[in-house]
Amino acid sequence: MEQALVVSNLVLWAIVVALCAVLFALVRQVGVLHARVAPAGALMVQSGPRIGEAAPLVAAADLAGAVRTVGGPDPQGRRTLLFFLSPTCPVCKTLLPALAALARGQEAGLRVVLASDGPRDDHAAFVREHQLDAFPYLVSGALGLAWQVGKLPYAALIDGAGIVRAKGLVNSREHLDSLFEADERGVASIQDYFARSTGAERSSDRTEVA
């Protein structure tokens, strides 16, 4: 009887050890998958101003009729986040709180400029409804043409010297954040960064094999 208990305990311990090994392997695999899955960044389009080039200098009127210039060096050295939107774009509306949070987080180092086109009355009602008075709101078809914006929402990050640092279609807060991440890493986009990293890893692997 005593021998049977000892054997059963050994079997149970073996099962526990085996389960722990399986659990460890699963956790490790999840970590590997998490490392391999790159975060999605803004979808950069090839049309319009290129990364590293000067942003087009465009003068456009805001809702109050004041003419504001987009592009060129900022007198205060601020970066400019140019966000193209429309009152009829549902995704654009979901990103408005994220824009406000970005502006607060960057404090005085970031200028958020909203841009659209169409009847001014529609935009005035849109600004009142979503309390967008804190941001310059430009209504200009020329601005969209200069950037060759085909789909919304679209955003571009311009540095203090007036150089385009990142741009693309943005459908989430993560996409907006990726513009700043790309600028900080000195790459055209997050996808470009991970493509370079993957290429470097493969080159290193080939060197080690050789």
Task: Kindly report, residue by residue over 94-151, the tens digit of the pLDDT.
Answer: 999 999 999 998 877 999 999 999 888 889 999 999 999 999 999 999 999 999 999 9
CATH of the domain at 63: 3.40.30.10
Domain that holds residue 33: 1-37
Ranges assigned E (strand) in the chain = 58-61, 67-70, 79-84, 110-116, 137-139, 154-158, 164-169
User: Structural domain tally of the chain?
Assistant: 2
Please indicate, yes or no, whether residues 12 and 70 belong to a single structural domain of this protein. no
Does a structural domain hold residue 48?
A: no
So what's the pLDDT on residue 14?
A: 72
Please indicate, yes or no, whether residues 84 and 10 belong to a single structural domain of this protein. no
Does a structural domain hold residue 47?
A: no
Residue 46 has pLDDT above 90, yes or no: no
Name the residue among 101, 55, 96, 92 with its Cα closest to residue 74. Answer: 55
74 vs 106, higher pLDDT: 74
Does a structural domain hold residue 99?
A: yes
